[in-house]
Structures are given as C-alpha cells and as structure tokens.
Structure 1
Amino acid sequence: MDTFPLCVIATVLGADLGSTGEEKYYDCSVYSDKKDLPTKNVECAHDFVDDLFYCKSWECPPPDCPKDEQVTQSEESCPVCPDTCTTGDRIIKKGEYVTCFDGVNRCGCFSTGQGITTLMGTNKFDLCGAPPPSI
C-alpha cells in the first residue's frame, strides 16, 4: 500500500544534492540542508519521507497604481496599492479570497497589505504542481 508523504509548510523559513537548489522537482527547487533554503519570496515544504526541502519562489507582481501610492507590506517584500494584498505571485483586492501560492490554503485580503490565511500544511505535490501519487 502506498502512503502519502507527510510534509509541513515553512513560509520562508533538497539525495544529497549539495543542497544548492539546482535540482528541480516540477515547479520547485530541491534542497537537502535547511540552512541553504532561500529566504525571500519563497514557500518551502519539508518532505519527511525523503528528508528534502521543496521550495517554490515568485517574483513580485507590479502594482497597478502610481509609485507614490504604493505601500510595502510588513511581512512581504512586494509593494501593493491601497486596498490590496499579495499572496505570493499575485495581487488580490480587499475582500477577495483565493487559493494561496502553496496550492492548499486559502488567502484573503482584509485591509491594505493585511492578508489572512488558513494554516493547513502543504506537501511537495501541491506546492510544486506535481501529480499526486497513485494509491
């Protein structure tokens, strides 16, 4: 019987691959050592079965307002416009709820730069866009 590997999401917080992130697994870079994980614009999942870290990074989307109106969020490096938030690689409007960048959780925006999210763990399949294992 196949088992579904247990993973835990680590929001910015890789066989021995030298842990450089050069190894790829679908949309993710793979690391073997936690100290080598990237620290900016990234979501990572630790797969406890293979003891590797799967990380998916994003670029900040350009805000749709003049530069002098843009606000930098406290826990995000991406600037936003009034009444918007970012959820990884996209901007959402106040009152909007979407699937988070990790592919599992729900993210919402309730004020400029102030988002909320569910806190379920994700796994390398959902995070990296890989097909789930067959059971």
Structure 2
Amino acid sequence: MSDFLHDFARRFADLDAGNLHRLGELYADEVHFTDPLHEVVGLEALQRYFAALYANVTQLDFEFIGFDPVREGEGYLRWVMSYRHPRLNCGQLISLEGCSLLRWNGEGKVERHRDFFDAGALLYQHVPLLGPAIRWLQRRLT
C-alpha cells in the first residue's frame, strides 16, 4: 500500500501543464475528485479542471511529506502545495498544507481523490481587499 502512495505522489508531483495527458495513467475513467472548492467526476472533466488550474498559475509544486496507508486500496497523502498566481498575494509564493484521501482499484488507478485543505489560506486570504478583511476577522475570533 505504501508503495502505491509513494509512486502516485512521485508521478503526481511530475505533472505540469505540458503533460496532463498522463492523468490517465494515474486515474480511472470514472474518477471522482473533490476539494473544498470543486467536485469533478470523470477523467475528461478532471483533465479540464487541471488544465484550467495550470493555465492560471505561474508556478505549482507539491512536496509530499506523509504517506499513510489505511487499508488495502486506500490511504492518505500529506503535502505542501506551493504556487504563484499573478493576481494573488502580489504574485508572491503561497504555500498551503493539506492532505488527500485516495482510493484505488486493482489496476492501480485512483477512483476516489478527496483533498482536504483550508480554502481561505489557499485563496480568499490573498485576494486584494477581501484578504485583509478575512485576516482581521480571524484575529478578532482568536
């Protein structure tokens, strides 16, 4: 199980805007992908989602820091995603910790991918005007 997680993480980290056709090597045709901002069903829809994601950033990197098998065909990856978007955080690097629940089939392809992360830390806190208001509110609540 841990071998699958390590291999998937390595291959996923190698993805970029120029090789998204390789998603079919990692994901089943009927993949169900969810994160706090999106829900995507099917490999073609996942390819469109990733193409749009890579089109809007100038840098996107994943560092995988944890590999946690749960049972046969299921496990978690813990990661740090670093990215640059020209309209967020003045184009400076943004880093975010998260984890992914993966369930894969007997053919070694992921059928379920669910990401868990703080959407505010990913996006909202870095939007001009909205970001300062969110940070002010967070300080008030703590």
Report which of the two has the higher share of helix: 2
TM-score bin, normalised by smaller chain: under 0.3
Give the TM-score of the pair, scaled to structure 1: 0.25
Report which of the two has the higher share of strand: 2
